Structure 1
């Protein structure tokens, strides 16, 4: 699905793999593998591609017609991998551009981004397992299993697992961030 969408966007703009790769700062080989569904791109790669197309990351996953009812099943979800030391996400919602829900797994020491960053959305994080430190606008908030935190995503923010145990959380973002 993602690979097909990227190929569609690339071809609609008359870009070769090499031209898109150059604009996005990735290799043409990686783009080819993504388009063929052989590899899952990192979140950073998705953001770079979305920027080139002037789209949100969520729009890269959009299907022509999103069903009225969507069931997200383990093993069938799009998994977004970040570089080592960063979060891995399972996408729980279809790409309709209105709401994005992600399940994030953080190993001890994992961080969502090297620096806190903003985006124009509202975000709610529900910690399912472990303890997650949520940095928002320079302040740290410790959120434990069973607790939820909602904040204006226009404030720079990131998620960190400072603890010795893995953590899992659900993150809801509306509208989805670019």
Structure 2
């Protein structure tokens, strides 16, 4: 992953300091990530991807990635490229009673969730929606957004992230 981050950064003529600033992460964290000496959190991956204007999977390079945030677990099932648009199809698991806030993606990114089990509150931090089994939520994720498992049951859902190209 570190090589991909470095390639994307240099292709955009960004210094390590400039990317760290744009992503809101420490320069040492970014340097360690590029050197392959750090395992980034899901929030760090989202922040770096947003600063580079790419989907998270552009940093990972493969499906089957198991990503964990402070509460959310996401497994990337498939990545589709439709012209300049990248679509990432994932499973989302959120243990009962847990919540997580994710940083903003870059402008134009949308998220779409279909809930299979549990009750999910998700969307922009200021205006989340709620859905139970069979329910669907979508939102522009270029703002901080969150996920919360309401009630006694774990949330299991599909997550589709649509990222437009530059």
Q: Pick the TM interval, shorter chain.
A: 0.5 to 0.7
1:2-47, CA deviations, whole angstroms, 9 ceiling, x for partnerless residues?
322101123332524x554344332344324433445442333223
Q: Size of the alignment, in residue pairs?
A: 160
Pick the aligned partner of 1:138 from 127, 135, 142.
127
**Is it true that 1:99 corresponds to 2:97 in the alignment?**
no
Superposed, which structure 2 residues align to 1:52-131 within 5 Å?
A: 52-53=51-52, 55-58=53-56, 60-61=58-59, 72=63, 77-82=64-69, 84=70, 86-94=71-79, 96=81, 97-113=85-101, 120-131=108-119
Q: Could you say which structure has the higher strand fraction?
A: 2
Q: Which runs of 5+ in 2 are unaligned?
A: none
User: CA, structure 1 residues 81+32, in 2 after alignment: closer, same or farther (shift >3 Å)?
Assistant: farther
Alignment-derived partner of residue 24 in structure 1 = 23
Question: 1:116·1:158 contact (CA, 8 Å) conserved in 2?
Answer: no
Q: Secondary structure at the match of 1:94?
A: strand
Instruction: Give me the whole-angstrom Cα distance separating, in 2, the residues matched to 1:59 and 1:155.
Output: 17
2: CA distance, partners of 1:119 / 1:113: 18
What is the Cα deviation at residue 60 of structure 1?
3.1
Runs (5+) with no aligned partner, structure 1 = 64-69
Alpha-carbon contact 2:130-2:137 (below 8 Å) kept: no
Deviation digits for residues 126-146 of structure 1 (CA, Å, limit 9, x no counterpart): 2233332345773642312xx
Structure of larger gyration radius: 1
